[in-house]
Structure 1
């Protein structure tokens, strides 16, 4: 069996992954708060943990891996958005419209990026009873208390609070603005339950009609669906504190466990063209923006290109999401797809079962199992793309399929398009550039002609110059 090694944020070391039960490998990843369409930064953890999910299924068997990714559909941001967008209907109806619409879009976006559905996708609103029950346990065990219309977790009741985020509680207390929330015993105490007024959604509880705090939601859902102690908990690096730290505290104190999850994994931040993504900077892009509009780089970007661009950096490192990165990803994808066809693979229906059973390159699998080492993975993909045997094409497809980057249906469409002539997402733009270059050549503007050739090369386009029967310059093109 392939040995998997994962970097554990809790221990700050890379460790050999040993599941609690090989026949029931369990992973929980924090999902979206569905008040708005997901932005491209939200896609990174989904892609990272989808790749890990695929790896775990490959090693332990599909039927032995459970992946839970929640939907947070109760949150004050959702309430505010619902009131703003639908002021003339009831709050409950407005909330339902916002959450249903954004959840549908989220699922559509994740599918377009090549992600598998999680095994279980629970909604927070379907698990309120479990949250209330956990809060009752915390109060009974003196880990929580009522104050100021809230139920709060007492961070001093947990001796090693702050271990996950490597923060010292005394330092956190000393640096806090105690006067802002004077009803708390400690400035770091966080909300488990808060009362709702008549204009806010709420549920009956021992402490009055109210709604849960954010952190308790994931603790209750992870317990319900994969138990009090499970294998892997994942999310973006921004969730380490306070969300994951507080989840860990609640769950351990409620259950009396030493661990909540054995491995805590986090992916790095994403920025756009060297800057933090921000609406005020005009560089805020939803996944739908990139897939369906021409807002970034003046064109639409296919889902497989976006996915590969995300995977070109190891998951714990920050990503600078640039147009150049997307162009590089597209060039590599077109080359790999073309190589598979040139080396003899044919994606007719009669080959589907055989091809989808193809395994990855063994060296690539070793790299992937080494904390999702994508630099090694990419090196192996390029190595097979440089081969000249059908075996190389088979390993290339098997590896890309495992990564969720290239699937059979996508290759089937690519093969059909290739049989009809070269195809590119920006075919009209390419033809325009070629026409402009021909004009420069005819006018002997060599420098301008070379500039256009270089632009097309960067897009993964190879030009073939020649002359027609009348002796006129012509240029054809193909995908590299």
Structure 2
């Protein structure tokens, strides 16, 4: 599947510090360095393309774009992989509801997502893989799981046995009651008769009338959601990689199950060194979601002549792991901030830039602390423009350095 084109990113004169991330599984901040001779490896779960990109999506992808950039500024190559769940129940249900072919709907919304990510200057994944094109990988992985006794059949469906991974539950840290509640709320089927455990997820859904299906050794059908990402990550990043990332609503069951699928094949080897999760974005007092209809779409903002850099700046005002509420005032404040930043760098000379560059890189290496990084730039702008007193233009080349670090580390083009 085609990704989107990459923005030009300036190089920096200094090397950024090693990156530390909060790990959901341990609750600790961990230095995440790639294995010797390997690039840094990142998997961020992608969209199910049945509607346009909303700001909750954008906050996640902009947030982990900071990780991609922080690693690169620390001197590492990065292999970034993302999936597109271009066949799944929500997509099929939406296509039937609006009377459009599901393939056409998936292609249309995926292309809109590409446009949104390009506009927001998110670095594209090296491998952008759809669920449909990953079916051979899924089939192969199910066969491997079958060989170790980790899957079983219930009628036409194939299920994964969660007890096959002794580490099951360690990624989320949830108790069983919480798991059962979330499993039922987030696409699972705990009440299906014949399962060994109510938490066992489907890895191959047998053919249903009116649904797309593909041939397999298990009969015609289509992949389960969790094994899609596990199979893609294993193929393109290896059996163990650096960071698995996504929204906090993916902690369970999606990331827990994906880790279990992989770890059942490599006992004792964690699927990812670190699990990092972005917070939820709310609007009108509720989590922003398609089911509630309280969405603010990136494309709608772009089409109303909002500079995408202002959208990105508004998102960066919040830590990637924070839950927060979107308001129009935040966007208007970002528009004003962006104008002030551009006014300051247009002067050429400004307050000393070196401390700002150092602080921005240090902040992003410290668990992707974008608000701290933005505060450093805000302070430089205030000093340069004399907002808090006499203007400081003591550094004749300040603007060059500020433009470079704001672009390279924060992804904001001035």
**Smaller-chain TM-score bracket:** 0.7 to 0.9
2:372 is matched with 376
Rounded to whole Å, the distance in 2 between the matches of 1:210 and 1:37 is 27
1:54 paired with 2:69, answer yes
1:341 equivalent to 2:346? Answer yes
Q: Distance in 2 between matches of 1:329 and 1:154?
A: 48
1:37 CA drift (Å): 1.3
> Contact conserved, 1:173 with 1:186, CA < 8 A, in 2?
no
Pair 1:321-2:314 in alignment? no
User: For 1:266-324, what per-residue CA distance to the aligned partner results, in whole angstroms no more than 9, with x for missing partners?
Assistant: 1111012543335687632222122214xxxxxx4321111111111111111211112
2:369 & 2:118 partners in 1: Cα distance?
24
1:114 and 1:10 map into 2 onto residues whose CA distance is 30
Task: Kindly report which structure 2 residues correspond to 1:32-111, keeping only aligned pairs within 5 A, or say none.
Answer: 32-61=47-76, 64-86=77-99, 94-111=101-118
Q: Which residue of 1 aligns with 2:6?
A: none
Q: Indicate the residue corresponding to 2:40 in structure 1.
A: 25
Q: CA RMSD in A?
A: 2.5
Structure 1 unaligned residues grouped into runs of 5+ = 88-93, 294-299, 346-357, 412-480
Deviations 1:315-366 (A, max 9, x none): 1111211112112212111111001112359xxxxxxxxxxxx997012211
Alignment match, 1:7? 22
SS of aligned partner of 2:244? strand
Question: What is the CA distance between 1:186 and its match in structure 2?
Answer: 1.0
8 Å contact from structure 1 (residues 367, 376) kept in 2: yes
Note if 1:163 corresponds to 2:178.
no
1:401 corresponding residue in structure 2: 407
CA distance in 1, matches of 2:190, 2:348: 70
Alpha-carbon deviations, 1:377-427, whole Å to 9, x = none?
1221123222323333223212211234432xxx4xxxxxxxxxxxxxxxx
Give the secondary-structure state (helix, strand or coil) at the position aligned to 2:128: coil
Give the superposition deviation at 1:171.
7.0
User: Where do residues 107-256 of structure 1 align in structure 2 (5 Å cutoff)?
Assistant: 107-169=114-176, 172=179, 180-256=191-267
How much does 1:172 deviate?
4.6
TM-aligned CA deviation for residue 180 of structure 1: 2.7
On the 8 A contact 1:23/1:60 being kept in 2, the answer is: no
Q: In the alignment, which residue of structure 1 is the partner of 2:9?
A: none
Distance 1:150 1:402 in 2: 47
Per-residue CA distance 1:179-238 (angstroms, 9 max, x = gap)? 832221111111101111342111111221000100000001011111111111110111
Give yes or no for contact 1:29–1:234 (8 Å, CA) kept in 2.
yes
Kindly tell me the number of residue pairs found equivalent between the two proteins. 382
The answer to whether residue 325 in structure 2 is matched with residue 312 in structure 1 is no
1:467 aligned residue:
none
**Structure 1 pair 171–50 and aligned structure 2 pair: CA distance change class (3 A):** closer
Greater mean deviation of Cα atoms: 192-201 or 302-311: 192-201
Give the structure 1 partner of residue 4 of structure 2: none
Counterpart of 1:264? 275
- Aligned residues of 2:356 and 2:377 also touching (Cα < 8 A): no
More helix by share: 1
Q: Is 1:361 matched up with 2:357? A: yes
For residues 179 and 71 of structure 1, what CA distance do their matches in structure 2 show? 25
SS at match of 2:320: coil
In structure 2, the CA distance between the partners of 1:376 and 1:173, relative to structure 1 (3 Å rule), is closer
Distance in 2 of aligned mates of 1:390 and 1:160: 57
Q: Secondary structure of 2:51's partner?
A: coil
Contact 1:360 1:398 in 2 (8 A): no
Task: Give yes or no for contact 1:161–1:169 (8 Å, CA) kept in 2.
Answer: no
What residue in structure 1 maps to residue 398 of structure 2? 392
**Change beyond 3 A, Cα 1:279–1:230:** closer
Q: Does the CA contact (< 8 Å) of 1:359 and 1:395 recur in 2?
A: no
The normalised TM-score by structure 1 is: 0.74
Deviation for aligned residue 1:71: 1.3
Question: Counterparts of 1:176 and 1:5 in 2: how far apart (Å)?
Answer: 30
Higher RCO, Cα 8 Å, sep 6+: 2
Return the TM-score normalized by structure 2.
0.86
Distance 1:391 1:83 in 2: 58
8 Å Cα contact 1:360/1:395 also seen in 2: no
* 1-structure distance, mates of 2:254, 2:183: 17
